[in-house]
């Protein structure tokens, strides 16, 4: 299964000032734990984004990624860290929080673009989120990822990438993050 991301940065006039489209570095450990737990019906102890280990659900609320606007604890997330990706990563290096304060970005709704579509030998769907900069100054995004639920109340990092180049978002601008999850036969 392949994973790709696309990052698009626009200025306050809506002009595209940066676009990066490449294969994702990686799913990380929690994804495999959550799938393992689901397949085997044996809940795993998963390190959550707050650094604490908790037992995953093997029923509902497993791998939920969609999230309404204003929440920065689930769905696509962005950060400013540059630490290389490791399979044991459990959060972004330096998470950018939701808000309009210095260094913050407004998190729009995280949407799943579905149903999965088949084209040739591929089947794909996408995860998308827009982050708007109303902080009053530039905010530079250097890492992106996806946080997913392990149970009703807790989340784990399942994807993390460090961008090829930092994405400076001017005040009034926005960054759109799109992940494409693709099965290829």
Partner 1 sequence: MRVSKSETEIGLWIAVKVTDSNGKVISRQRRRKSHSYVQGWNWAVCAQFLGQSTPSPTLGLVKNTAGGNVNLRTCGSPFRCNAGAGTTSTGIRVGTDNTPVAITDYALKAPIAQGTGPGQMEHQAQTFAWIGVAGNVCSFQTERVIVNNSGAQINVREAAIYMTVFYPTAGTEICACRDLISQDVPDGGSVTVTYTIRIVA
CA 32 → CA 4, 104, 145, distances in Å?
Answer: 18, 30, 15
Residue 149 CB, nearest distance to partner 1 (Å)? 8
Q: Which is nearer to partner 1, 39 or 51 (CB)?
A: 39
Distances (CA, A) of 155 to 7, 14, 19, 66, 169: 23, 33, 29, 12, 27
In the complex, the smallest distance separating the C-beta of residue 144 from partner 1, rounded to whole angstroms, is 15
Report the nearest approach of partner 1 to the CB of residue 27 (Å): 5
Comparing CB distances to partner 1, the nearer of 84 and 137 is 84
Which residues bind to partner 1, rule: CB under 8 A?
Answer: 1-3, 25-29, 31-33, 35-36, 38-42, 44, 58-66, 85-89, 112, 114-116, 118, 120-125, 127, 148-149, 181-185
Q: How far is the CB of 165 from partner 1 (least distance, A)?
A: 19
Q: Which is nearer to partner 1, 106 or 125 (CB)?
A: 125
Nearer to partner 1, 13 or 88 (CB): 88
H helix intervals, the chain: 29-40
Distance CA 116, CA 126 (A): 8
Of 82, 77, 87, which is closest to residue 164 (Cα–Cα)?
A: 82
Q: Please name every residue paired with 132 in a beta bridge, in sequence order, or none if there are none.
A: 106, 174
Name the residue nearer to partner 1 (CB basis): 18 or 163. 163
Is 77 exposed, middle or buried (CB count within 10 Å of its CB: 0-12, 13-18, 19+)? Answer: buried
Could you tell me the smallest distance in angstroms from the CB atom of residue 70 to partner 1? 17
Handedness of CA 79, 80, 85, 90 (dihedral sign): negative
The least distance separating partner 1 from the CB of residue 96, rounded to whole angstroms, comes to: 22
Nearest CB to partner 1, comparing residues 139 and 163: 163
């Amino acid at each position: 299964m392949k994973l790709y991301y696309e990052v698009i940065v626009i200025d306050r006039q809506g002009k595209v000032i940066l676009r990066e489209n490449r294969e994702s570095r990686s799913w990380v450990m929690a994804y495999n734990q959550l799938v393992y737990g689901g397949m085997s019906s044996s809940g795993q102890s998963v390190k959550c984004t707050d650094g604490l280990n908790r037992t995953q659900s093997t029923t509902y609320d497993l791998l939920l990624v969609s999230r309404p606007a204003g929440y920065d604890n689930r769905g696509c997330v962005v950060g400013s860290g540059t630490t290389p990706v490791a399979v044991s990563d459990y959060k972004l290096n330096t998470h950018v929080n939701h808000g309009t304060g210095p260094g913050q970005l407004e998190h729009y709704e995280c949407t799943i673009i579905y149903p999965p579509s088949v084209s040739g030998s591929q089947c794909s769907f996408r995860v998308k989120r827009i982050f708007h900069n109303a902080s009053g100054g530039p905010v530079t995004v250097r890492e992106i990822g996806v946080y997913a639920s392990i149970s009703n109340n807790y989340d784990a990092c399942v994807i993390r990438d460090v961008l090829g180049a930092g994405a400076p978002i001017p005040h009034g601008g926005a960054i759109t993050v799109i992940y494409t999850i693709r099965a290829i036969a």
